[in-house]
Amino acid sequence: VSSQAVGGLVRRLGPRARLDQPLGPLTTYRVGGRAAVLVELESEAEFPALAGAVVEAGLEVVVVGKGSNLLVSDAGFPGVVVTLGESFSWVDTDPAGPAATAGAATTLPVLARRTAAAGLAGLEWAVGVPGSVGGGIRMNAGGHGSDIEHSLLSARIADLLSGGVREVKRAELGYGYRRSDVGPHHLVLSGRFELRRGERQASDRVISEIVRWRRDNQPGGQNAGSVFTNPPGDSAGRLIDSCGLKGFRIGSAQVSDKHANFIQADPGGSADDVRRVMESVRETVSRETGVMLQTEVRLVGFGGWLE
């Protein structure tokens, strides 16, 4: 990284820009190296200055939410990592909508529980996804027969290249299965969801069932959920299992014994081991079944995405 570029950024942003920060603790894998610069945005008013400084520095930028779908390389990320502060964590429920609006740093489980408590149905599935509203909007997170696209009305999105902020309707977001047109230079600030009038007890029952199902079927520990997306008409976990890869290990990383589409990292483990397991699984599944799995987990600092 050019120290001149970093110096310029620090001059413009002051103590907001923190140098050489560890990224592992910001992710659920809890492995990987450091970011050259980490900036936590505290309010939308600060955004134009951040965007201007990033453009002027010419550094690569990545937004990190709850880090539950990210693997950061052991070498770290030689650019600017942007995160959202606590002030972006809020939920406004609107029974008349019926709708809810949430800040992008709100966790999806909190959104699920707050809307259910307000008698609004439709986001119960989100209780099982440990990401943020912003990460969920970008990834089109989903489960249990639903996803973000299903209820999102619009998202407030800031553009790190132009410095502009605008409310973007769902139809303009290019949604597909676990994908959207929200790009690396976009920062989601909030999302507005169209919900149904429901009953608190009914939603709470669904939430409890989902929590129980997750506990029974998914491993705990250091992972980022499903590593690969499901190919059309099949399940990535089933394909990986059919190749006898449950428990397959390289160094400090292994395919979960509980769910074949999860890769676990050992405490103090290495991101490069996780990536090696990912590549090895992909090669074996492709050789033995003819299906080339696509990565759902986003790779940061590996010199380009693995997709």
Ligand X SMILES: Cc1cc2nc3c(=O)[nH]c(=O)nc-3n(C[C@H](O)[C@H](O)[C@H](O)COP(=O)(O)OP(=O)(O)OC[C@H]3O[C@@H](n4cnc5c(N)ncnc54)[C@H](O)[C@@H]3O)c2cc1C
What phi and psi values does residue 289 have, to the nearest 5 degrees?
-120, -10
Q: Which is nearer to ligand X, 98 or 207 (CB)?
A: 207
CB of 4 to ligand X, least distance (A): 26
Residues contributing to the site for ligand X (CB under 6 A): 28, 62-70, 84, 104, 128-132, 134-136, 138-139, 141-143, 182, 186-188, 218, 223-225, 298
C-beta of 98 vs 237, nearer to ligand X = 237
Active site residues: 178, 226, 296
CB of 95 to ligand X, least distance (A): 26
CB of 299 to ligand X, least distance (A): 10
Q: Angle, nearest 10°, between helix axes 200-217 and 108-117?
A: 150
- As given in the structure block, the two tokens for residue 58 are 């010419």
Residue 34 or 186 having the CB closest to ligand X: 186
Residue whose C-alpha is closest to residue 71's, from 26, 134, 18: 26
**Structure tokens that stand for 173 in this block:** 């977001």
**51 vs 64, which CB is nearer to ligand X?**
64
Please state the closest distance from residue 183 (CB atom) to ligand X, in A: 9
Instruction: State the distance between the two ends of the chain, measured CA to CA, in whole angstroms.
Output: 25
Q: Which is nearer to ligand X, 119 or 262 (CB)?
A: 262
Q: How big is the CA angle at 39 (ends 37 and 43), to the nearest 5 degrees?
A: 170
Non-local CB neighbours of 128 within 8 Å, separated by 6+ positions: 109, 143, 144, 210, 211, 213, 214
Q: Helix (H, G, I), strand (E, B), or coil: what is residue 176?
A: strand
CA 109, distance to chain mean position in Å, is 13
Radius of gyration of the chain (CA): 20
Q: How far is the CB of 29 from ligand X (least distance, A)?
A: 8
